[in-house]
Amino acid sequence: MPTSYPLQVDDQRTLPDGYTGPVFIWDIDKTYLSTNFSSLQGLSRIPLEFAVDKQAIAGMPECLRGIRRGPGPGYGCVPLYFVSASPPQLRGVLEHKMILDGVEFDGITFKDWWQIMKKGRPKRILDQVGFKVCALLEGRQRRPLATEYLFGDDAESDADAFSLYAGLVHEGMSYGEARDRIADTGMREDNQRCALALLDRLPEKRGKVKKVFIHLEKGTPPEQYDRFESLVAPVRGGLQLGLALFALGLVDEDTVRQCREAISPASGTPDPELDALIADAVDRRLISRQKLRRLDSVLPISSRKKR
């Protein structure tokens, strides 16, 4: 039986052997760009869109540019990869959109719709968990020791897929445990075989998934992610993501400023919605009050007064 998932992989960067540093992996749809996957009608429109039709989620291009740049004074060129369930025929459109947004990246992995349809398995187009797990395991083949940060959304089951993947790459999990974990997800059997085959090819020593960020595109209550404990951080938009990344030392203050300006350009004008986002980020421990004080020069006056 086939043990390879229908992927198209474009990896433009070879990292040094033994690279243990950070790698950022983003889902494109509903995490960076607003994309309609909720219906077959929405799916049918995706291949017909142009770059100018693609709408970036406010603050997300700023976060992408910030993590690529890194938190230091120089340009870090931190490894950044995308994973997209869109068909590979959209490569040119997506790359053009990233150029428009000033987003640099090192590669994209697509779900190969043509191969899926050719093999008579159209349900795989709507299968996101199997695709995400297999795409991430495929990328891990080339970056086995990297420390990964994953970015997804609540429109599908990204938290479940990313949490499963994080457990699979953990070197303490046996093959039998991995097989049982995959089966428990209800993943299609062909996808289970693909995931296990990819896992079997990984070296025994591996890096880990440090953090999973989930963009609350659908407004899912954050407490629904409590079961993932500290691994998963739900965020409401680009500003909260920028605050969380700053708290982890992954972006600089200017990135947070740009995220804030993308949402609310007038820094001296009271903005209750912006204040509420910042207060919520503190309440949910995306950022501590102490680290938030370091952002006094880039956050609205009204929010600073409340601290």
Q: pLDDT band at 117, cuts 50/70/90?
A: confident
Residue 109 confidence (pLDDT) above 90: yes
Inter-residue contact 232 to 214 (CB < 8 Å):
yes
Strand partners, 162: none
Q: Among 36-40, 206-210, 300-304, which stretch is predicted with the lowest mean pLDDT?
A: 36-40
* Predicted local confidence at residue 283, as pLDDT: 97
Give the span between the Cα atoms of 3 and 166, in whole angstroms. Answer: 21
- Higher model confidence: residue 65 or residue 87? 65
The dihedral over CA atoms of 17, 23, 25, 31, expressed in degrees to the nearest 10, equals -170
Give the span between the Cα atoms of 211 and 286, in whole angstroms. Answer: 12
Average pLDDT, the chain: 87
Residue 268 confidence (pLDDT) above 90: no
Give the span between the Cα atoms of 51 and 74, in whole angstroms. Answer: 30
Share of the chain above pLDDT 90, in %: 63
Residue with tokens 């990984």: 202
First CA to last CA distance, the chain: 60
The one-character DSSP state at 266 is -
Identity (one letter) of the amino acid at 233?
Answer: A
- Higher model confidence: residue 150 or residue 125? 150
* Predicted local confidence at residue 251, as pLDDT: 98
- Higher model confidence: residue 97 or residue 232? 232
Phi, psi angles (nearest 5°) of residue 267:
-70, -25
Share of the chain above pLDDT 70, in %: 86
Q: Average pLDDT for residues 235-256, to the nearest whole number?
A: 97
* Predicted local confidence at residue 171, as pLDDT: 74
Phi, psi angles (nearest 5°) of residue 248:
-90, 0
Can you tell me whether residue 108 is helix, strand or coil? strand
Length of the chain equals 307
Residue 38 confidence (pLDDT) above 50: no
Residue 264 confidence (pLDDT) above 70: yes
Residue 100 confidence (pLDDT) above 50: yes
* Predicted local confidence at residue 303, as pLDDT: 55
Helix (H) or strand (E) holding 259: helix 253-263
Give the span between the Cα atoms of 282 and 91, in whole angstroms. Answer: 38
Residue 262 confidence (pLDDT) above 50: yes
* Predicted local confidence at residue 44, as pLDDT: 47
Q: pLDDT band at 122, cuts 50/70/90?
A: low
Give the span between the Cα atoms of 300 and 197, in whole angstroms. Answer: 51
pLDDT in tens, 146-175: 999 999 999 878 999 999 999 999 877 888
* Predicted local confidence at residue 37, as pLDDT: 44
